[in-house]
Amino acid sequence: MGYGDEGRWTYKLLYEPALTDELRRLANPRSTANIDSVTFQPCRSYEQRSQDRYVVQRWDVGGSVWVFTGIFDGHVNHDTVEYATEKLPPLVRTSLEGLLAQATSPSPARISDLLSQAIAEVDSAIMSDFLSMFAQSNVDVCNARPEFMRPFINDHTRGGRHYQRVSCALGGTTALLTLYNERRGDLWVANVGDCCAVLGTWDRSRWSATLINSIHNGNNATELNRVRSEHPPQERCVKDERILGWLAPTRALGDFWLKLPRVYTENVFIHFDGMKRESLRKYLPRLQTPPYVCAKADVYHRRVRGRQGGASPCDGFLITCTDGMLDLAHSEPLQISQQLIDGWVGVIGRALQKRHAHPPNLALALLRESVGGEDAELVSRNLTVEMDERWMDDTTILVQRFT
């Protein structure tokens, strides 16, 4: 199934309507205006709970309605992804309000810059919070001894303020933001990491799919070449298509053990109780010339095409999802392909064209197809296998309808 130990595992075969009810319970489908969403991790262990987060908001700014969405795929812990989810939306809104107060019709490039700068600012804030605790306490990180550093950063009995800052700096998250001006039809997609944004377009009596963003991971040769070009040729900064053989996304917020000088990993992170010390020790010899990871966003702008009659293409919806959707496509992580996204768009398109007494949650429809569709045994296995560790990646899907 792609995750977990090898072996024979028990699962419960479910029949309708129990099968659909269980999927709904696990996926927590929601609808906000024109956006359907699900977030899914079937493993029942608290320690294995989902590290995905998402945000959907509608803002009345500058006389227009702006729809903001964000999906975040955390790793290592929950603190970094929680921080990004909390800080990014209000920062983008405040920046947008300030920009529109200066210019009622700013260029698309200025809003693209706004999104990129917001992501960079949140990443910088994580670093500043982390570094400031040493300056505030007059701690010389380069010469700090383990017997001092361990209680200093693992301060659970003293409120945990240092612990929280270290955890937020050590963990990481990808981020994919969208901003849509309903009146003008302008859409922006800002991406750091390996989430996907796919546009579904009705064109000449069929649905077609367009991948809007570049994927920042080891399956993207351009990204790997960029990372390698920033480090000495003899250094193995990429191994098994991962940064230092560890991190799949090549861009992320947080992950400061891969961004700051090595001394911070040797003298701080390696003594942190929130991560197994042997995990960092394994990769420490490869940590030669950081930074290896950046939070520089790629931002894309396009004008959504509405219904104009005749044979003109019409943009119907946008799918945004975390990389768990790729893992659901195959037992091994799968590189995104045109065939794959055509399949996603086809599922949504068929659901839209059917007549329903109650409109379906389109994100749930796509998730159902991805975990087995009408194959009750396969869906049951994906939902109910009795394992204490996760057997599939966290998966979050948003479907935003434009028409």
Residue 226: what are its φ and ψ, rounded to 5°? -60, -50
pLDDT at 333: 52
DSSP line for 167-178: HHHHSEEEEEEE
CA distances from 351 to 266, 292, 348, 369 (A): 53, 42, 5, 11
Three state DSSP letters for 29-51: CEEECCEEEEEECCCCCHHHCCC
Q: Collect the ranges in the chain with pLDDT lower than 50.
A: 2, 4, 331
Residue spans per domain, the chain: 18-304+314-401
pLDDT at 156: 85
CATH of 18-304+314-401, one of 3.40.50.450, 2.30.110.10, 3.60.40.10, 1.10.287.80: 3.60.40.10
- Asked whether the beta carbons of 80 and 193 are under 8 A apart, the reply is no
Residue 219 burial by Cβ neighbours in a 10 Å radius (0-12, 13-18, 19+): middle
Hey, is 300 helix, strand or coil? strand
pLDDT at 334: 64
Task: Give 60's strand partners.
Answer: 65
Alpha-carbon 108 to chain mean position = 24
pLDDT at 402: 95
Query: Which single residue is written with the structure tokens 């700013």?
Result: 106
Residue 351 burial by Cβ neighbours in a 10 Å radius (0-12, 13-18, 19+): buried
Measured CA to CA, the distance from residue 184 to residue 263 in angstroms comes to 50
Strand stretches in 79-228, DSSP E: 172-181, 186-192, 196-202, 207-211
Provide the token pair at 234: 């003899």
Longest dimension (CA), the chain: 74
pLDDT at 244: 96
Q: pLDDT per residue over 135-166, tens digit each?
A: 999 999 999 999 999 999 999 888 999 999 99
pLDDT at 90: 99
pLDDT at 58: 97
The single-letter DSSP state of residue 296 is: P
pLDDT at 57: 98
Task: Give 164's strand partners.
Answer: none
- pTM across the whole model: 0.94
The single-letter DSSP state of residue 79 is: H
